[in-house]
Structure 1
Amino acid sequence: MKKDIEIPKVENVYIAVVNEYNDIYKTQDWNAYIVNDKAVDLEIVLIVTSGYSESKTTSTFRKRLDKLPAKSYAKIELMQEELFALTNTFKVSFFEGNKMFDKTYTFRKNTINGNALRPIPLMQAKGVLVS
């Protein structure tokens, strides 16, 4: 029975943590984004984030986007630098057409840092990307 269940592979959807300047507070902030590099819209996007280590666990954060247009991105949350010492997971579920897709993106502890910054697809910014 399990062999009959088709689990579609998620491609061209990324989670990026970007270091950017905040004009309002005049600070450098780290923000998490979801990037849709597909040619189609994503519908009913559900994102559940949390962080953990052997001795600590963060609260669970949930976000819903009704639609994430093709070739676009959306901010998920502001991330405090203290969280980078934890493993951070982003569980993403969405509909593309009539199919549901699901993927867990993981940033291992201490992998989000200034030395790991790379260009992010569709964004005019540098950050840490998980695909």
Structure 2
Amino acid sequence: MKKDLPSNIVEDIAIAVALEKESVESKIWYVYVINLKDEPIENVLVTSKGYGEKNGEHVKTSVLRHMIPLIEPNASALIEPIDEATFGLTNEYWLSYYIGRDIFDKKFIFLPESVVESNFIRIPVLNKPGVMIR
């Protein structure tokens, strides 16, 4: 039964959209998973997709899957580059990982227009400007 399953609550894990480089012509953005725990996480699987409306039409991006064997404590791992054109869409990242034999998973959702300068923070571990969800 569902009530017999462990809750395995995700804590001290974040997904961040960070500004990597900026020039007059363009900005380069990357998405990271950040392990803020004091222990490593293993077999990290991230699926990403974007969806929403653009110019009155329903838009969906491809679903991408990323596997990261290990993320050390207080470290990060690059998931993917992200195009500024998708910031007007809902960007969803579904994260699963193991600590020992226990599996954890959580969905992180960046709502449309949430990656804007007024929401920027200095992202821990990366020490770069961007938006982070814990």
TM-score (norm: length of structure 2):
0.91
Alignment gaps of 5+ in structure 2: none
Residues 29-108 of structure 1 mapped to structure 2, 5 A cutoff: 29-54=28-53, 55-108=58-111
What's the secondary structure of 2:3's corresponding residue? helix
Paired-residue identity, %: 32
Cα distance between partner residues in 1 of 2:83 and 2:2: 41
**Which has a greater percent of strand?**
2
Cα RMSD over matched residues? 1.6
1:115: how far off?
Answer: 2.0
Matched residue, 1:119:
122
> Secondary structure in 2 aligned to 1:31?
strand
Cα deviations across residues 76-112 of structure 1 (Å, max 9, x unaligned)? 1111011001000000000011100000000001101
Letter in 2 for 1:129: M
Aligned length: 129
Offset at residue 28 of structure 1 (A): 2.5
**Letter aligned with residue 34 of structure 1:** V
Residue 39 of structure 1 aligns with an amino acid whose one-letter code is D
- C-alpha separation in 1, matches of 2:122 and 2:46: 23
Runs of 4+ in structure 1 deviating by more than 4 angstroms, as ranges, are: none
3-state SS, counterpart of residue 87 of structure 2: helix
Where structure 1 has 5 or more consecutive residues not aligned to the other structure, the ranges are none
Distance 1:22 1:74, change over 3 A: farther
Q: TM-score, normalised by structure 1?
A: 0.93
